[in-house]
Chains A and B, each alone.
Chain A
Amino acid sequence: MSGSTKAWLAILAAVVLLPVFVRHAIATEIWIFAIFGLGLNLLMGYTGLLSFGQATFFGSAAYVAGYLLKYYGVNVLLALGVGIAVGAVSAAVVGYLCVQRSGLYFIMLTFALNQMFYFTAYQWTTVTGGEDGMPGIPRPSVLGLDIHPPLAYYAAVALLFLLSLWVMKRIVESPLGKILQAIRENELRAEALGYNAPRMKLAAFVVGGAFSGLAGVLYAMLFGIVPLESIGFVFSGNVVFATLIGGSGSLYGPVIGSFVFIWLSESVSSMWARWPLLLGVAFVVVVLFFRGGVVEAWARFWAWRAAHRAPAAARADAPR
């Protein structure tokens, strides 16, 4: 059995078993966040573009689709399509301004433009509800199926997650995905081979934005509200953290990361209102001691175990 098949089986098992162990809303949120992370990882892990503004696309899509759902009663599939489109278009606009710069400038620009969208949502109270968010987002039936029960919605989101994962796998294994990785490894060389690096980065941006958009709409329908935070920079930081904690180089890193992140943050935030402090401490600890994330920490643990067993066995055999 190949590694990829194993991974798919593990994820399928997780999808089926998760709602048994975790509250349905949290289980649903985990897969939504995983879709969000998949989109970011195409930029961060595969293209080497550290975007600190992914909430821009997540939130914009959530607001637009939420508005259509709430005031125009559009059907779910249309809302999802609009959300994906809004995510892609807003990412194209932001990406166009950002991909011409690299490194620190790129990070700062994505953050600054995220702030622009945030303040627009904050001040445009007649549409977005400002600080209170946009409540009353319905979750209508889709194709005659009632997705209102938590478990039904979980199933729908989990299916979309699996579909997203499959699409993302196809993308990273496609020629585009390979070119993006080439740009990450050596942009000059990729340019020398004839690839237009800024245009390819923009393509990655748009695809990443589309995934963020999908996640944003699902999020709005999960909680029935588009909170202002969904377009705020903390959200952008959370998805970066979730992706890094899972391991940004691999396809499955963001999936593991969002599981760890959502599960932890949900359990801690219910205990202590000042939980962002612990989140900050977690950021610092992970960065200083567990770079490479869960995937690497896991590998290191097994390597450590193996190393400690082998010498022990060797010592026992060795003549004194």
Chain B
Amino acid sequence: MNVSLLFSQILNGLATGMLYALMGIGLSIITGVLNIPNFAHGALFALGAYFLYTVIQLVGNFWLALVLAPLGVGLLGVLIEYGGIRPLYKAGHDYQLLLTFGLSLIVTEGIIIVWSPVGMSQLPPPLLRGGVNLGITFYPKYRLFVMVAAALLVLGAWLFLEKTRYGAIMRAGIEDKEMVSLLGIDIHRLFTAAFAIGCVLAGIAGALTAPIRGLNPWMGVDMLGIAFVVVALAGLGNLLGSIVAGLLVGLAQSLVALFWPEASVAVIFAVMAAVLLVRPQGLFGIR
């Protein structure tokens, strides 16, 4: 086994794993607070990537695009929550699922109509092109940036949820919505905020992914499945669990790709199945 190849695959696994963790945390907040299955999470991820692409086309600045694209996705999230999900809180998971699934179809087809069904590529900003010599291996700068940026965002999400008053309300919302509303907190605003935050995180993950994997309208589908895996392994609203599960899934995927590239995606779900066989409540689940 080539050591430098192994090393760079481990780094790849960590970078994608951090992106998976971002997706998982966003989905976990939405699912935990709003108690809905968000099947649009993957499509919003794709939208983040396309927004990034378009902002770069318009203003030519990657960094600005990296800020604006997720905010755009978050804004759309506010509209979706307000117009679509809010009437459905009491309607049952089947209708919530159908709504978010319908939205994901609309977003995916919308991307095809607005941009094109053909995949596109997006270069990293000039500053982050090329690679750095890490001693053991030569590694692309941009991926290192993604690893660090995603780690910082995960840290930021953790600080927000653990250390701020609003984060505490959000965690309380995951635990017991009735109690939160009895305390005089506007539960609807909480729901909107949680959904928007989840959308922003999905949008960031998408925007960061674009220069690595390029863009295609269906890029969100794989991500949706993986985000579900992360949440199932971590337990709803469990931040630390989402990070560990995200990294685990990312590493499993990139290491299997060394030996058996064809199985590298299916292995994610096999890992989940294996874990659930032993611990049906997930790695960090309580029940």
Q: Is B213 an interface residue (CB 8 A)?
A: no
The A-B contact count (CB < 8 A) is 126
Task: Please pick, from B84, B91, B112, B262, the residue contacting A291 in the complex, using a CB distance under 8 A.
Answer: B91
Question: Contact between B103 and A280 (Cβ–Cβ < 8 Å)?
Answer: yes
| Chain B 165-197 residues near chain A, CB threshold 8 A | none
**CA A230 – CA B32 in complex, angstroms?**
31
Contact with B along A223-266 (1 / 0, CB 8 A): 00000000001000100110010001000000000000000000
| Interface SS majority for chain A | helix
A119 CA to B221 CA in the complex, in Å? Answer: 12
CA distance A100 to B275 in the complex (A): 13
Interface size on A, residues (CB 8 A): 40
A277 touches B106 (CB 8 A): yes
Q: Is the CB of A280 within 8 A of B266?
A: no
**Alpha-carbon distance between A276 and B112 when the two chains are bound, in angstroms:** 11
B242 within 8 A of A: no
* CB within 8 Å for A115 and B99 given contacts A101-B280, A103-B93, A277-B105: no
A113 pairs with B273, CB closer than 8 A: yes
Q: Which of B252-287 contact A (CB under 8 A)?
A: 262-263, 265-266, 268-270, 272-273, 276-277, 280-281
Contact present for A112 and B269 (CB under 8 Å) = yes
- CB distance B102 to A283 under 8 Å? yes
Would you call B228 an interface residue if the criterion is a C-beta within 8 Å of the partner chain's C-beta atoms? yes
Q: Which of B101, B273, B276 lies in contact with A283, CB distance below 8 A?
A: B101
B265 touching A123, Cβ below 8 Å: yes
Q: How far is the CA of A100 from the CA of B108 in the complex (A)?
A: 33
Establish whether residues A277 and B87, one from each chain, have CB atoms under 8 Å apart when the complex forms.
no
Q: List 17 A-B contacts (CB under 8 A).
A: A97-B273, A101-B232, A101-B280, A104-B31, A104-B36, A104-B37, A112-B229, A116-B266, A116-B269, A244-B94, A276-B108, A280-B102, A283-B98, A286-B98, A288-B88, A288-B99, A291-B95
> Which residues on A are within 8 Å of B, measured CB to CB?
44, 50, 52, 97, 100-101, 103-105, 107-109, 111-113, 115-116, 119-120, 123-124, 233, 237, 240-241, 244, 248, 274, 276-277, 279-284, 286-288, 291
A276-B105, A277-B109 given. 5 additional CB < 8 A pairs? A108-B37, A233-B221, A280-B109, A287-B98, A291-B91
